[in-house]
Amino acid sequence: MNSTPRLPTGGDVLVRAMKRHGIDTAFGVISVHNLPLVEAVSRELRFVEMRHEAAVVNAADGYGRATGGIGVAITSTGTGAGNAAGSMIEALTARSRVLHVTGQIDSEFLDAPRGVIHEFPAQLQMLDAVSVFAATVPSADRAEAVLEQALAAIGGAPGGPASVEWPSDLQYLARPDDQQPFDVPEPALPETDEASLDEAVALLASARRPVLWVGGGAAGAGAELAALAHRLGAGVLTSNSGRAIVPEDDDLVIGNFASSAAVAPLLAEADLMLSIGTHFRSNETKSYSLDLPKRHVQIDVDPAAVGRVYPAEVGLVGDAAAVLARLLDRLPGSTTEAEWPARVREVRAKVRAELYDYIGGYAEICRGLRSILPRESVVARDVTIPSSQWGNRLLEFYDRRTNIFPLGGGIGQGLAMGIGASVGRPDSPTVVFAGDGGLSVHLGELASLAGTGAWCVVLVFNDGGYGVLRNMQRANGLDVTAVDLYTPDFHAVARAMDMPYWLVRGAGNFETTLREAVQAHRPVMIEVDVTALAPQPGAFTPPVHIPTANGRT
Ligand SMILES: Cc1ncc(C[n+]2csc(CCOP(=O)(O)OP(=O)(O)O)c2C)c(N)n1
Ligand SMILES: [Mg+2]
């Protein structure tokens, strides 16, 4: 038996920083370049073993989104950090709260590349490109200060993922007791201009048919938004990431349907739009061609966002909740037409009914999910047709943290996001949507999921390939190529992962299947045979502009 007392390491420094920020879990892949970090987290907190570093970051991201806290991703230097980069792009796009800690070769070799194993001299540049903050731990006694800087950047305004690379020797040499003192910078919030607030109030107070457009930047402003919407009788449109900041069963919430045909007349009638924390992304605005009310008041924490996509008559720079609270304070009363809220409700009902009709056999699945899952359940969705067509709008959410999807549109990330969410929210079942294509990107992560034992239903929509691209090729007269894939036997895959498995073929049995699957209270798989859905759903073609298809029929 080894009786030498265990010396503290940088891992204990990381654990102390995590504890200070209320973080109890990290996701990662162990490596010779992060051993002390993984060892301390495993000992003191919880370390979740993933299989690929891209999935490590997705899981940390899903954990952060689902809990409202910070997700920690621990990867290896070189290829490990490179593997993480694609998912860091997603975290950066969504401004997720992810602390990515990766290794680096020993500090003595950092300045002069000489072919050390795992060496990648441009690692910091790469991390910098995919993070809001990236730094190298410069010395053993500066580790905690660098971690704190990264954590402060994550929580900044608007914040986002941060990366720290940590030379292996300094991971062993760092000690909690030897750390240099550090300042934790306060996030600096811009001051909102008083005159602009008055202008905005004047416009809102004279609007007859107002709408709100809510983006992810309005997270944390749910109460103020709901109060304002009801005070004004305004319809609430949202981006995908702005969903459920106001719960979607609020009957003024039209939701992520702005580009639907039935909403166009409402937008044409509206005489004022107040947008809050949104990017007006291409796939939410028909590639920026959507007609929106000309009278536009825009709230954003980033001054550069004001008027960037749609011109704004008044821009209010600041934190969404704070600005909305001030608007509510000053707003005298509402001049909204008495019939307007009813008009909003009518459109809200119409877009839903039309989509339910169009999606055929998927309607049973969409309704079944809502009837079986508790309101608190996360539904983490990969980029598959059931997400893009109806999961991203028709499937109702009540809390923003439960609506998890890759904002940047990269396939293969949904499963690991769901793993992170199910680990972070053990009290309710998590559901993952994955296409047969998207699930195959990271089949190995099913083993990670099995290892957690988490309460997670993996719902695989199998159409034998890349359905969305197949539809796109057909709709644009392109050759149908590279989309009909070899498809694994998912039942055999589930068996290999010790996951109970159900197949849904044809109509009428989804709800019963989901109920059983949820009751298993562990990782399980339901495969939906998309070709057997009845009635067959209308085709989904994504709202993507294809220049080469111009002029072709
Ligand atoms: C990382 C990444 N690679 C490629 C793509 C292009 N892409 C978009 S959807 C898709 C097919 C997804 O297939 P599947 O998961 O089976 O869903 P389906 O469309 O069949 O419902 C592909 C390849 C992408 N979005 N992201
Ligand atoms: Mg498919």
Closest by alpha carbon to 326, among 195, 502, 183?
Answer: 195
Q: Tokens representing 490?
A: 């998912």
- The pLDDT value given to residue 323: 98
In angstroms, rounded to a whole number, what is the distance separating the alpha carbons of residues 262 and 285? 14
pLDDT, tens digit, for every residue of 97-141?
999 999 999 999 988 878 888 888 899 999 999 999 999 999 999
pLDDT, tens digit, for every residue of 50-69?
999 999 999 999 999 999 99
- The pLDDT value given to residue 552: 47
> Of ligand 1's atoms, which has the minimum distance to the CA of residue 530?
21
Residue to probe by mutation, ligand 1, list 385, 407, 415, 469, most atoms within 8 Å of CB: 469
Give strand pairing partners of 58: none
Tell how far the Cα of 487 is from the centroid of ligand 2, in angstroms: 9
> Of ligand 1's atoms, which has the minimum distance to the CA of residue 439?
15
Q: Specify burial of residue 428 (Cβ count, 10 A radius: 0-12, 13-18, 19+).
A: middle
Q: Specify burial of residue 128 (Cβ count, 10 A radius: 0-12, 13-18, 19+).
A: middle
Helix H or strand E segment including 157: none
Q: Tokens representing 31?
A: 């490596």
* pLDDT for residue 188 is more than 80: no
pLDDT, tens digit, for every residue of 291-337?
999 999 999 999 999 999 999 999 999 999 999 999 999 999 889 99
Residue to probe by mutation, ligand 1, list 58, 90, 383, 487, most atoms within 8 Å of CB: 383
In angstroms, rounded to a whole number, what is the distance separating the alpha carbons of residues 272 and 285? 17
To which residue do tokens 């966002």 refer? 305
In angstroms, rounded to a whole number, what is the distance separating the alpha carbons of residues 349 and 14? 50
pLDDT, tens digit, for every residue of 458-515?
999 999 999 999 999 999 899 999 999 999 999 999 999 999 999 999 999 999 999 9
Proportion of the chain above pLDDT 70, given as a percent: 98
Residue to probe by mutation, ligand 1, list 282, 440, 466, most atoms within 8 Å of CB: 466
The overall pTM is greater than 0.85: yes
- Please state at what angle helix 53-67 crosses helix 414-424, rounded to 10 degrees: 50
pLDDT, tens digit, for every residue of 80-90?
999 999 999 99
Tell how far the Cα of 332 is from the centroid of ligand 1, in angstroms: 49
- Predicted confidence band at 553 (pLDDT cuts at 50, 70, 90)? very low
In angstroms, rounded to a whole number, what is the distance separating the alpha carbons of residues 348 and 293? 18
CA 474 from centroid of its chain's CA atoms: 30
> Of ligand 1's atoms, which has the minimum distance to the CA of residue 468?
19
- The pLDDT value given to residue 1: 52
Tell how far the Cα of 133 is from the centroid of ligand 1, in angstroms: 30
* pLDDT for residue 174 is more than 90: yes
In angstroms, rounded to a whole number, what is the distance separating the alpha carbons of residues 276 and 540? 29
Tell how far the Cα of 434 is from the centroid of ligand 1, in angstroms: 10
To which residue do tokens 């929210």 refer? 425
* pLDDT for residue 230 is more than 50: yes
Q: Tokens representing 146?
A: 């660098």
* Identity of residue 195: A
- Predicted confidence band at 2 (pLDDT cuts at 50, 70, 90)? low
* pLDDT for residue 549 is more than 70: no
Proportion of the chain above pLDDT 90, given as a percent: 91
> Of ligand 1's atoms, which has the minimum distance to the CA of residue 461?
21
pLDDT, tens digit, for every residue of 136-172?
999 999 999 999 999 999 999 889 999 999 999 999 9
CA 421 from centroid of its chain's CA atoms: 11
Query: Region 252-278: what's the mean pLDDT?
Result: 97
Tell how far the Cα of 409 is from the centroid of ligand 1, in angstroms: 9
Residue to probe by mutation, ligand 1, list 411, 436, 486, most atoms within 8 Å of CB: 411
Tell how far the Cα of 483 is from the centroid of ligand 2, in angstroms: 9
To which residue do tokens 């894939």 refer? 485
> Of ligand 1's atoms, which has the minimum distance to the CA of residue 411?
26
* pLDDT for residue 551 is more than 60: no
Closest by alpha carbon to 28, among 99, 121, 133, 117?
Answer: 99
- The pLDDT value given to residue 548: 61
As a whole number, the mean pLDDT across the chain is 95
